[in-house]
Amino acid sequence: MMKNPWKTLSSKEIYKNQWLRLREDQVITPSGHNGIYGVVEAKPAIAIVPLSENQDTYLVGQYRYTLDEYSWEVPEGGALDGEHTLSGAKRELKEETGLTARTWTYLGELYTSNSFTNERGYVYLAEDIFDGVSNPDSTEQLRIKKIPFLQAWQLVLEGSIKDALSIVSILRAYEYLKKSQKLNN
């Protein structure tokens, strides 16, 4: 493992809300020069690929304010303070889609954009699912679309799904299902 070549001299909070914190660090860069580094600290992101018995999955559509664009994604959200990511995944799946699952498989961790944020993403596959009532956050206007999992995978490959967390989640779920011989082609 490589030693950290950066030296932090000081940190200053610039902004904070319930989802993130922005800080500015005074640093000495790896080349030995004084500099600044802006860091967005975020709660863990969670993505869930729900898979029905007949291998349908569910996508969530919503308008993304930051991009000024509508986006189709897997169910996703953030872990609450002190919440384990699996508990957060179960909560987010229920909130956004109304679905609950009996079987959960952890598909790994990822960095969402490690050049300016410390946010980590956690990916889960939810199987043996059953319907319920959704309860989205008051800031969300969601549409739910049920499609064959392989169609969602194809949407990733053709670039129609652009959300990075969704892309990684669907690709990892595809590889897991293929290796475990659960994928119906």
Q: Is the pLDDT of residue 133 over 90?
A: no
pLDDT at 184: 78
Residues 13-52 pLDDT 10s: 999 998 899 999 999 999 999 999 999 999 999 999 999 9
pLDDT at 169: 98
Side-chain-side CA neighbours of residue 109 (13 Å) = 8
The residue to which tokens 């909130």 are assigned: 95
pTM for this prediction:
0.92
CATH for 44-179 is 3.90.79.10
Q: What is the average pLDDT across 160-175?
A: 98
Residues 61-113 pLDDT 10s: 999 998 999 999 999 999 998 999 999 999 999 999 999 999 999 999 999 99
Comparing CA positions, the residue from 102, 112, 8 lying closest to residue 50 is 102
So where are the chain's domains?
A: 7-41, 44-179
Q: How confident is the model at residue 11 (pLDDT cuts 50, 70, 90)?
A: very high
